[in-house]
Structure 1
Amino acid sequence: MNWEHHAQRLADTITDPDSRWHSPVAQTPRHILVPRWWARGDDGRWALREGLTDPAAWWAAAYGDESLVTRVGPLHADHAKPDDHPEGLPTSSATMPSLVVRMLRHGRLHTGLSLLDLGTGAGGLAAYAAQRLGSQQVTSLDVDPYLTEAARDRLADIGLHPQFITADATTDIPGTYDRIIATVAMPPGPGLRPMLAALRPGGRLVTTLARMGVILTAWKDDHGECHGRIGRDSAGFMLTRNGEDYPPALAPAAEKGDPEITTGRYPVLNVTETWELRSMLEIAVPGVQARYEERDGIRTAYLAHPDGSWARASAERLDPPTVHQSGPQRLWDRLERIRNRLNAEGALPLHGAHATISPDGVIHLSRGKWEATLGAQEASP
């Protein structure tokens, strides 16, 4: 099979003919980076896909513009048996190529700059960057030693030799760099400090933020602060993790206390897929978790917070929902206030907001009269 043809078609699809990233995409055999992956089966469970046993599916997946999940919970597809069906959240992936290119463009890269690719995954961003900048200018970091080892070996097989580091980016990042691009969602506050310290003065940072769907770009000044903006495009990446898997989510079974029962104003929606609403909710109630399900035409959304607050809203299709909520905060009410603002003003203030990041990782956002703070003990929604 002629992989060059497929890679060329992918490059033509996700870049312009005169793009500096067209050649790196066209020259990267992405199928080598993803020999096995996870996909949802007809029964909704994770099922293993193996490239060698289904070449047609392998080529379509590897050279399609889609993200491929390579690890669910602690189980990597490379280590799985054909009949394995892991449960849990994805913990690593080969990111959608067009999104990789978009993050690289945000990085304002050019010859001679050093780049830290934070979140190795399958190695796609490191591969494109090494093709463009040269291997000696690229370092890739991941918390998972298998991911860095596998990416090192697979990139070496295609003649690319960037440096790989295994480390927890929220506690320590060796070295300093002119550019840092994070393809994991970083937590504001102390978890940002190592990344900020690793960025050289005059350097540029590109990252997404935990439980938000925004892209933050910023330049570092000589005093250690970073100044930039929340982009007007969106992206969602997996949260950083410190161990083999994420901590257990706050389950609906955590509902405690006599709930207040009301009728909501707006239809139930999947909060995790409405990126700007989800991002604004995270600013208003940092640490809130969301879940959604639809069964027999009944939509149900759950919100939960570590302080014990919870909300459950259910309705048939687009009917006004019955809302149960309890705890120190009324989470569904907070969400509805954000939706009120969206309806009243036609937009939310987050995208395009100016961002200032202090060396301690606190992010201050502003746009017009709107201000917010992320990473401090007290946030200002």
Structure 2
Amino acid sequence: MPGSTSNGPLASSDREKKEAKSGKASGATTPNASRSPSSVSLSLLPRLKMPRIEAPLPHIEFAPFVVPRQRRLQTAAVAIWSLMVPFTIAFFFLLCSFPPFWPFITIYLIWLFIDDAPNQGARPWPWFRSLSFWKHFAEYYPAELMREAVLPPDRPYIFGYHPHGIIGMGALATFATESLGFSQLFPGITPHLLTLSTNFYVPIYHEILMWMGIASVSRKSCANILKKGPGQSITIVIGGAAESLSAHPGTADLTLKKRFGFIKLAIQYGADLVPVFSFGENDIYEQLSNEKGTTLYKVQKKFQHLFGFTLPLFHGRGILNYTIGLMPYRRRIVIVCGRPIHVERVANPSQQLLEDTQKLYIEELMRIWDTYKDAFAKQRRKELTLIA
């Protein structure tokens, strides 16, 4: 018995070694037999190659921290104007949060809706139009104004501005401020840039438009200004909201073929017509592709039909970067005022007279384009086209 007791563990150990050896020789998987299927699959995970999904990220070019003071002032001026409507609305609601102001706010709102100044030529303040703020605004792009002919102040004028662009920054700098020296180039001519009547119902913003001499584009407003006589002028962005949908860099697609309203006004009030072309106006913003017939184009046109204006899906640069944002890009704008087309006053012009006058107007506009396109539209992708 003692012999069996002392030899038992040794015999057991020998048997385990033999079994282990035989297991290796026969390819048995005894050590893994107790593993679950999940543990086996998990052990294989490191060997699997997962596909790499690379999402294209836009390369954002940030503005340097240190830039000349003048450039900062220019950027600030354009940023403030670009956000003027939300700024004024926010400030108005801030005032509304103080009950002591409520009586004054009520009176102001009543006056805002009954004020007829937008139809009477506004209330321009020369000192406001001449602020250095506007100089910084114009130098941002930079924008410049060219005159092809002297305009005698012995008659009224209608300036037709092309193209509309996304917002019409060149028109603002030229006709609503003195940043480009309009009064020096056209002495004796009082400019009135025209815009949609709805803009005059925005509190506080209404006053800013008045001080800049901006008036309503309604027929009543146009007639009241032109009736004031020699030296008065109005500027109409002829293409309007419809043309803003065609504002793509490198193009000049104009909505003009069926625009006879301003021609008729000029004939009825004896106002000479002055075509104005703004080289670079379409280049300061990028717009989402919206070719005619696409779903986006149809939605934008439907919106325009319902509300009288449209919403181009556009972008520019940001305040702190050069890639994406709502500020316009720094791209040169050159506004060329062409030669005036003399118009004889006729109370009830015929359709033939309207068409003949429009033909002269279009010919002068095309002459401006052909004369300066190689100098100011070098990056154009197509020629000036009348699309509607």
What TM-score does the superposition give when structure 1 sets the normalisation length? 0.30
Going by fraction, where is strand more abundant, 1 or 2?
1
Report which of the two structures shows the higher radius of gyration computed on alpha carbons: 2
Going by fraction, where is helix more abundant, 1 or 2?
2
Q: Which has the higher contact order (CA 8 A, sep 6+)?
A: 2
